[in-house]
């Protein structure tokens, strides 16, 4: 549970935060690269391993270049990939309604808002993006992981089961309905290996996490049944 939350936390930060010197310093921190290198063989999907290797390749290629120059490259590539600036060189921006309804603020956005509201989730006022933006949907998954972890620590297995069920439904009904399409195009159109890798890593992890959640849900329901007996 803690590992899932950590991955979602990292991914949501990379999609929600604008590139900054702090972000660049984190990417080029030796511990960050060592962590990616050691994690690559562990992940079960080829897509995730390839994503991690691409990010490591970016780090190796840029680690001796001035940080300000690197920040500029990252900022330019991010803007082009996330803002849909040019139809020939940019994917449509990462909003669920754009991919599922072919327009901003479509039906999908309303459904996502309703999903958040049912769980009492209020988005921070500082976030200016639409609720169906990729980074916000990923951060919602982080929040579900955190709630699940807290329920486990409090021995509330019924709540653990509930949060796992919500996680599975959100992945099936929302994130996996559109995000892989954007992420594939993002990887194809990215100029930097950093964003090529991030796209593949994110897509692979979302698919992997659905299988993991399904497995955990079966295990916790079996545990609930054992406790009742």
- CATH number of the domain where residue 54 is located: 1.10.3480.10
> How many Cα atoms within 13 Å fall on the side-chain side of residue 7?
19
Could you tell me the pLDDT band of residue 158, with boundaries at 50, 70 and 90? Answer: confident
Name the domain count of the chain: 1
Q: Kindly tell me if the per-residue pLDDT of 217 is higher than 70.
A: yes
- For the ranges 8-12, 42-46, 140-144, 164-168, the lowest mean pLDDT is seen at 42-46
CA distance 78 to 178: 19
Provide the pLDDT for residue 198. Answer: 97
Packing angle between helix 157-170 and helix 134-153, nearest 10 degrees? 160
Position of tokens 């500082």? 126
- Spatial separation of the C-alpha atoms in residues 71 and 99, rounded to whole Å: 29
Phi-psi sector, 25: left (phi>0), alpha (psi -120 to 50), beta: alpha
pLDDT band at residue 223 using 50, 70 and 90 as cut-offs:
confident
CA angle 153, 215, 210 (to 5 degrees): 100
pLDDT band at 87 (very low <50, low <70, confident <90, very high): confident
- Given a cut of 60, whether residue 229 has pLDDT beyond it is no
d(CA 99, CA 77): 21
In tens, the pLDDT along 13-66 reads 999 999 999 999 999 998 887 777 666 666 678 899 899 999 999 999 999 999
pLDDT recorded at residue 127: 76
pLDDT at 32: 85
pLDDT of the residue at 6:
87
Round the average pLDDT of the chain to a whole number and report it: 91
Token look-up 């999907």 returns 45
Instruction: Report the candidate in 86, 144, 94, 79 with the shortest Cα–Cα distance to residue 115.
Output: 144
Whole-number pLDDT of residue 30 = 87
Range(s) of the domain holding residue 154 = 2-228
Q: Is 95 helix (H, G, I), strand (E, B) or coil?
A: strand
Predicted confidence at residue 135, as pLDDT, reads 96
Q: Residue 123: what pLDDT?
A: 80
CA-CA distances (angstroms) from residue 82 to 22, 34, 140? 20, 28, 19
Between CA 75 and CA 162 the distance in angstroms is: 39
User: What contacts 24+ positions apart, CB below 8 Å, involve 125-129?
Assistant: 127/16, 129/16
151-155, Cβ contacts within 8 angstroms, sequence gap of 24 or more: 152/1
Give dist(CA 117, CA 95) in Å, integer.
18
Buried b or exposed e, range 173-186, using 16+ CB within 10 angstroms: ebbbebbbbbbebb
Of all residues in the chain, the percent with pLDDT exceeding 90 is 72
pLDDT at 228 over 90: no
Rounded to 5 degrees, φ, ψ at 167 are: -60, -45
Tens of pLDDT, residue by residue over 161-190, are 999 999 999 999 999 999 999 999 999 999
């Amino acid at each position: 549970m803690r590992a899932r939350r950590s991955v979602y936390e990292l991914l949501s930060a990379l999609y929600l935060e604008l590139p900054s010197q702090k972000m660049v310093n984190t990417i080029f921190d030796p511990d960050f690269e060592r962590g990616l290198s050691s994690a690559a063989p562990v992940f079960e999907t080829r897509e995730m391993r390839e994503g991690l290797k691409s990010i490591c390749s970016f780090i190796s290629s840029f680690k001796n270049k001035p940080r300000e120059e690197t920040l500029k490259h990252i900022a330019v590539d991010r803007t082009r990939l996330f803002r849909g600036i040019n139809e020939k060189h940019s994917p449509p921006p990462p909003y669920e309604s754009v991919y599922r309804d072919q327009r901003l603020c479509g039906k999908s956005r309303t459904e996502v808002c309703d999903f958040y509201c049912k769980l009492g989730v209020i988005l921070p006022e500082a976030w200016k993006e639409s609720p169906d933006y990729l980074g916000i949907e990923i951060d919602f998954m982080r929040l579900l992981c955190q709630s699940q972890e807290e329920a486990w620590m409090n021995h509330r297995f019924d709540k653990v089961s509930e949060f796992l069920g919500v996680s599975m439904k959100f992945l099936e009904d929302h994130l996996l309905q559109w995000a892989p399409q954007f992420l594939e195009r993002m990887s194809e159109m990215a100029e930097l290996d950093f964003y090529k890798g991030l796209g593949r890593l994110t897509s692979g992890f979302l698919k992997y996490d659905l299988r993991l959640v399904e497995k955990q849900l079966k295990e916790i329901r079996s545990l609930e049944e054992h406790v009742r007996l």
